Amino acid sequence: MSPKSATPWEGRSIEAAAEFTQKCLELRRSNPCAEIALDRVINDLMTELWDLGFSQSEIRSAFTNALEDMPRYAAGHERRGA
């Protein structure tokens, strides 16, 4: 069994999110209009999810649930770090 397949689903989910966000950061840094980079990526993510068969309700619910959980995770801070 490869190390990747031995990783529990939750760990693989975190790894995928970390890889995706690293790519988002690279895109943001390389974009001359960095302030709109995240909007574009999230919009593209949403359409890719829809194209792969996720329903509008599933996508909307996932985004809404993540946003509602953000204050707990962010502990009142607008941005991580200085």
Residue 6 has a pLDDT of: 64
What is the CB neighbour count within 10 angstroms for residue 1? 5
Q: What is the mean pLDDT of residues 7-17?
A: 91
Determine, yes or no, domain membership for 30.
yes
Instruction: Indicate the pTM of the whole model.
Output: 0.76
Determine, yes or no, domain membership for 50.
yes
Is the pLDDT score of 2 beyond 60? no
What is the number of domains present in the chain? Answer: 1
Determine, yes or no, domain membership for 81.
no
Please give the residue that has the higher pLDDT: either 31 or 54.
54
Q: SS in 3 state form for 35-65? A: HHHHHHHHHHHHHHHHHCCCCHHHHHHHHHH
Domain range enclosing 28: 3-74
Is the pLDDT score of 34 beyond 80? no
Say if CB 38 and CB 29 are below 8 A apart. Answer: no
